[in-house]
Chains A and B, each alone.
Chain A
């Protein structure tokens, strides 16, 4: 049994609603990029960057990793950064 001391309450609703709206807007931008037929390295990398930011927001605010002192938050960051870097490298290679 865990005591309800408040230590378990680590994300409040309002910031998460902001996060939600941010995620919607960023996804909209991504979608519009496709609709406008934008392509090329810089566009791709911006889209990728947005995706990684979205991932970080989910990890921090929804998964509740923000403020963790141990390795767990880093696990998600590393998960975002390493494939992100590999994808970036692969896209640069094509050009």
Chain B
């Protein structure tokens, strides 16, 4: 007995299946969007936090660090750095501001970005906001 396996059916499955799952995905994303106010800490997004995000982006911090686990794995996770630094934006600012210009011999060191006081405050506030996102208790512990 011959087997029936037609190209047109395979094609229909490709189009139908893709459309089906795209619609399902859209429905789930739509539901997620409507639930975000519960988790994304949006009440903490001030203008300063928004500026902080821009500072974060314009210095390519993600090129070494991870934020909520995404980014590079060369330097510590920063989604919880605010809590790791004892719930202190001052400690974050002090750390960033005190990086040596020429690095540390033989070791990894964060560059000195020469941030203005305003930018420094903003990026610290941004990290504080990030630590308030409810993300299913990740990372597993304070070390990130």
Chain A residues within CB distance 8 Å of chain B: 2, 7
Q: Give the residues from 37 to 86 in chain B that come closer than 8 angstroms, CB to CB, to chain A.
A: none
Residues of A contacting B2 with CB < 8 Å? 2
Chain B residues within CB distance 8 Å of chain A: 1-2, 4
A81–B82 Cα gap in the complex (Å)? 50
A7–B1 Cα gap in the complex (Å)? 8
Residues of B contacting A7 with CB < 8 Å? 1
A7–B2 Cα gap in the complex (Å)? 11
Chain A interface mostly: loop
List 3 contacting pairs A-B, 8 Å CB cutoff, sorted by A: A2-B2, A2-B4, A7-B1
A2–B4 Cα gap in the complex (Å)? 9
A49–B128 Cα gap in the complex (Å)? 54
B110 to A: closest C-beta gap in Å: 49
Residues of A contacting B1 with CB < 8 Å? 7
A56 to B: closest C-beta gap in Å: 23
B4 to A: closest C-beta gap in Å: 8
A2 to B: closest C-beta gap in Å: 7
A2–B1 Cα gap in the complex (Å)? 9
Residues of B contacting A2 with CB < 8 Å? 2, 4
A87–B4 Cα gap in the complex (Å)? 35
A71 to B: closest C-beta gap in Å: 13
A87 to B: closest C-beta gap in Å: 24
Residues of A contacting B4 with CB < 8 Å? 2
A54 to B: closest C-beta gap in Å: 26
A20 to B: closest C-beta gap in Å: 27
Q: Which single residue of chain A is at the shortest CB-CB distance from B2?
A: A2
A81 to B: closest C-beta gap in Å: 26
Q: Which single residue of chain B is at the shortest CB-CB distance from A3?
A: B2
B75 to A: closest C-beta gap in Å: 42
A7–B4 Cα gap in the complex (Å)? 14
Q: Which single residue of chain A is at the shortest CB-CB distance from B1?
A: A7
B125 to A: closest C-beta gap in Å: 47
Q: Which single residue of chain A is at the shortest CB-CB distance from B4?
A: A2
Q: Which single residue of chain B is at the shortest CB-CB distance from A5?
A: B1
A42 to B: closest C-beta gap in Å: 37
Q: Which single residue of chain B is at the shortest CB-CB distance from A8?
A: B1
